[in-house]
């Protein structure tokens, strides 16, 4: 059985600072996730600067897809060239949309007043931003920049402003248009299975998948490892359900001890949900992570239901004074030790009057390592009313990676302690 | 005076999880920054999945540049297609490199032993990974995957493994090759000026640039705004020095009160350097940021020279018990108020026995807002031995943005307090 292929979506992200690597693009990944969700095939993300020849070439390639979404280059200045070069790539005249010119003019007058500058300074920019390829329509304004939609041969083209919030807002407008609705009639949103493991190796997960038959028959499998987690993603087409069921069952059977989620919630969200469900309050005591664990927990809306606070005890005397870590423990075992980790967690639980506390101490590097306690050595400890758990690892890596792994370890330790898993 | 154009560099980043937006690419930005630094023109970053037709098209486009760097798709499995499709795009035969096959075989035997699996399981993968386009050479291994270099017509092609650490390691090997050295003889590393402002609007900065003549005559200017900072980047070609000097001088004169750096160090690094230089110890007291300010400070190597610790007081009773915020202040003014922010900072300074403390309290949302205290309302306060400063803002935004802006405000407040600026 062969299914019709999905409509292809191509994304052209413009911006000098992006193509130079000075800023990381967020629009391409957002649009790609949207395409996937809607049942289109995210085929490519091209990031280009504002040179006319690079832009035009990228637009021509994008026009080979069924949907081409462009981000950025819609501003009032000379280096905002998206509309002009899209028109050239498609072979359309540029025309001034007079209703749009009035609308942008109104916004610009208010800006001119606020900045106490003459409106005349803005007039050329207003005219430029109201100039669209023949047949195009506005999706609404972001500041003075219009989102733009047009159809060219068999491609729906959407041009959106670069700031991610604005892009996302006008993208939702594009989804309401007749042109996109017609395109989506040919789309086929795929099924999805997600399995997330902690503490299993990527190769063990890949091997288990292979043994169970691997991808094929309407199932695409992706395996990604990060910070001791391995994420398996099954994208399931019509008819692929039996194979997907078989793969998921095999992974559950072979690696069930490591399986911690079958949805996309990050571990901090699971930890908070577990604590909330059991009526447990939570705190952290952090040294090398310097607040990262608390920051991850509080990134979740509603964290205050369970999370009460944290002590970041970077200096040893803060460990003593604020967490009650005994001076003898620090002297005998050092700040980076299983003993200090335990004393920090016990201290945080008492001081912050919570049910569950987790601690982290380690050598994040790049300096401070010794042969006995090298960069990448980390201890975590969690205490709850009815038990405690300790863990640790020693893996050389850069400072950011060590801290990220340490934070992930602390969160998973709490998860295991609270679930008894 | 017209300068020869720089050699163009194109980057092809492969990975299904990247083109689907499930993971954010770090290799494209790294390689682009490298190209810029070396005096090449970073022309485009293309992100594609592992479908053969998409890959081959992206490689063909990349081969139009002087340097084409490919990341990912070098593994042992069937969906690692970079080498096969590069060979097809260039029009070269595939041949087994026997020395390379022995080298990869040795690594694979050790892996087989460790995993207690028969080496026969690996043999097909070893053969595949030792198969290169005719004329290509290995740059060394990352695990079992070789980095690969070859020259095709006038393009130098480098294929590197996808994991960022491995890519960066083998990239430094590529820089030592004769082919890349020859390419770099035609490169022209540009000059660069960086000016960073805090609290000025992007439009005021752009206007000041325009008034001073704007870009041109060998100077390219980029203006980027983020979290109350505006970054101006001048990329300066031969002969562009006078114009760059004039632009920088005009920005200093017009917006000097907002200028906080003329280098690329982030504000947390500046704050730590300022404290270190003045012998001041530092702590934070955080509510809505939940540890983010401390986490940013401790992301800097050697932070422990000045940073001592933090209290994340998410719950009000932690604000009272750990920071000594009077119950009356919380009752009269609420947890999100200038008064509570001040009491938190004063409390942290006393409790953690530091010279300088900074606090943050606000409504991060999406819930918890009221007409009087809406989502996006934030207060920060900093205290030092000889003075204090307070600030705040109220700007509706998503939770992540509010928290990021709040953290940036806190760090800049410390910077201003310590410099008296």
pLDDT digits (tens, 9 = 90+) for B259-296: 999 999 999 999 999 999 999 999 999 999 999 999 99
pLDDT at B201 over 90: no
Could you tell me what percent of chain B has a pLDDT over 90?
79
A24, B24: Cβ pair inside 8 Å?
yes
What does pLDDT average to over chain B?
Answer: 94
For B268, counting Cβ atoms within 10 Å of its Cβ (0-12 exposed, 13-18 middle, 19+ buried), the class is buried
B46, A43: Cβ pair inside 8 Å?
no
B366, A295: Cβ pair inside 8 Å?
no
Token pair recorded at residue B118? 């028969």
pLDDT at B323 over 60: yes
Instruction: Name residues 307-326 of chain B within 8 A of A (Cβ).
Output: 307-315, 317-318, 321-322
Provide the ipTM.
0.86
The pLDDT score that the predictor gives to residue A121 is 82
The residue-averaged pLDDT of B61-90 equals: 93
Of the pLDDT bands very low, low, confident and very high (cuts 50, 70, 90), residue B1 is very low
CA–CA distances in Å: residue B43 to residues A28, A292, B26, B67, B404: 17, 36, 17, 10, 31
Q: Give the whole-angstrom CA distance, residue A306 versus residue A418.
A: 13
A42, B49: Cβ pair inside 8 Å?
yes
Of the pLDDT bands very low, low, confident and very high (cuts 50, 70, 90), residue B421 is low
H-run or E-run covering A110: helix A98-115
A45, B42: Cβ pair inside 8 Å?
no
- 3-state DSSP assignment of residue B336: coil
DSSP letter (8 states) at residue A354: -
Q: Which of B14, B21, B369 should we substitute to test contact with A (largest number of A Cβ atoms within 10 Å)?
A: B21
The residue-averaged pLDDT of B386-401 equals: 93
Question: Is the Cβ of B203 closer than 8 Å to some Cβ of chain A?
Answer: yes
Q: Give the whole-angstrom CA distance, residue B124 versus residue B105.
A: 10
Q: What is the pTM assigned to this prediction?
A: 0.87
Q: Give the whole-angstrom CA distance, residue B301 versus residue B90.
A: 45
CA–CA distances in Å: residue B210 to residues B205, B247, B278: 9, 9, 38
The 10s digit of each residue's pLDDT in B11-45 is 999 998 899 998 899 999 999 999 999 999 999 99
Query: Which residue, A353, A373, A356, is CA-closest to A365?
Result: A373
- 3-state DSSP assignment of residue B171: helix
A19, B30: Cβ pair inside 8 Å?
no
β-bridge partners, B131? B96
- Which residues 6+ apart lie within 8 Å of A30 measured at CB? A164, A167, A168, B21
Token pair recorded at residue A224? 């990604």
The pLDDT score that the predictor gives to residue A421 is 61
The pLDDT score that the predictor gives to residue A1 is 39
Place of tokens 């001040």: B342
- DSSP states of A247-258: HHHHHHHHHGGG
Q: Helix A52-62 crosses helix B52-62 at what angle (to 10 degrees)?
A: 160
The pLDDT score that the predictor gives to residue A407 is 98
A375 near A368, Cβ under 8 Å? Answer: yes
Instruction: Give the distance from CA B360 to its chain's centroid.
Output: 25
B26 near A226, Cβ under 8 Å? Answer: no
CA-based angle B232:B237:B241, to the nearest 5?
75
Instruction: Name residues 352-411 of chain B within 8 A of A (Cβ).
Output: 352-353, 364-367, 397-401, 403
The pLDDT score that the predictor gives to residue A151 is 96
Q: Give the whole-angstrom CA distance, residue B207 versus residue A7.
A: 43
Number of H helices, E strands in chain B: 16, 17
The pLDDT score that the predictor gives to residue A4 is 65
Stretches where chain A sits below pLDDT 70 are: 1-4, 421
Instruction: Tell me which chain A residues have a C-beta less than 8 angstroms from the C-beta of B275.
Output: none
The pLDDT score that the predictor gives to residue A420 is 82
Q: Beta strand pairing status for A67-71 and A155-160?
A: parallel
Q: Around B2, how many Cα atoms within 13 Å sit in the side-chain half-sphere? A: 2
For A270, counting Cβ atoms within 10 Å of its Cβ (0-12 exposed, 13-18 middle, 19+ buried), the class is buried
Token pair recorded at residue A314? 């970077």
As a residue count, chain B comes to: 421
pLDDT at B4 over 70: no
For residues B7-43, one letter each, b for 16 or more C-beta atoms within 10 angstroms of the residue's C-beta and e for the rest, the string is bbbbbbbbbbbbbbbbbebbbbbbbbebbbebebbbb
Query: If you measure CA to CA, which chain B residue comes closest to A283?
Result: B312
The pLDDT score that the predictor gives to residue A50 is 86
Q: Give the whole-angstrom CA distance, residue A256 versus residue A182.
A: 43
Sheet holding A259-261, edge to edge: A219-226, A229-236, A191-198, A259-261
pLDDT at B372 over 90: yes
Could you tell me what percent of chain B has a pLDDT over 70?
99
B32, A17: Cβ pair inside 8 Å?
no
pLDDT at B153 over 80: yes
Instruction: Name residues 137-176 of chain B within 8 A of A (Cβ).
Output: 165
- 3-state DSSP assignment of residue A71: strand
- 3-state DSSP assignment of residue A325: coil
B55 near B14, Cβ under 8 Å? Answer: yes
């Amino acid at each position: 059985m062969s299914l019709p292929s999905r409509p292809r979506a191509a994304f052209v992200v413009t911006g000098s600072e992006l193509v130079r690597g000075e800023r990381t693009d967020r629009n391409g990944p957002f649009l790609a996730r949207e395409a996937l969700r809607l049942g289109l095939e995210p085929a490519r993300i091209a990031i280009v600067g504002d040179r006319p020849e690079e832009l035009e070439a990228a637009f021509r390639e994008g026009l080979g897809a069924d949907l081409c979404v462009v981000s950025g280059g819609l501003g009032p200045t000379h280096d905002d060239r998206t509309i002009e070069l899209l028109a050239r790539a498609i072979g359309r005249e540029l025309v001034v949309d007079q209703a749009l010119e009035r609308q942008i003019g109104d916004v610009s007058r208010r800006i001119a007043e606020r900045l106490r500058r003459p409106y005349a300074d803005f007039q050329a920019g207003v005219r430029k931003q109201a100039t669209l390829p023949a047949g195009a329509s506005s999706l609404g304004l972001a500041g003075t920049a219009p989102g733009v939609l047009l159809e060219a041969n068999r491609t729906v083209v959407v041009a959106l402003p670069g700031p991610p919030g604005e892009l996302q807002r006008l993208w939702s407008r594009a989804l309401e248009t007749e042109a996109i609705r017609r395109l989506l009639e040919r789309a086929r949103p795929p099924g999805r299975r997600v399995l997330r493991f902690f503490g299993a190796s990527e190769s063990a997960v890949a091997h288990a998948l292979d043994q169970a038959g691997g991808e094929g028959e309407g199932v695409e499998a992706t395996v990604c490892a990060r910070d001791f987690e391995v994420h398996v993603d099954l994208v399931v087409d019509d008819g692929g359900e039996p194979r997907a069921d078989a793969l998921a069952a095999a992974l559950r059977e072979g690696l069930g001890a490591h399986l911690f989620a079958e949805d996309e919630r990050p571990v901090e969200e699971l930890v908070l949900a577990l604590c909330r469900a059991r009526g447990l309050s939570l705190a952290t005591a952090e040294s090398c992570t310097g607040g990262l664990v608390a920051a991850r927990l509080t990134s979740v809306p509603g964290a205050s239901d369970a999370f009460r606070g944290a002590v970041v005890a970077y200096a040893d005397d803060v460990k003593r004074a604020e967490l009650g870590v005994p001076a003898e423990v620090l002297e005998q075992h050092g700040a980076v030790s299983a003993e200090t980790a335990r004393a920090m967690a016990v201290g945080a639980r008492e001081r912050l009057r919570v049910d569950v506390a987790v601690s982290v101490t380690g050598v994040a590097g790049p300096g401070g390592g010794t042969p006995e306690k090298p960069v990448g050595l980390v201890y975590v400890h969690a205490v709850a009313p009815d038990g405690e758990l300790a863990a640790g690892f020693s893996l050389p890596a850069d400072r950011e990676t060590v801290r990220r792994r340490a934070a992930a370890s602390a969160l998973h330790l709490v998860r295991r302690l609270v679930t008894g898993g």
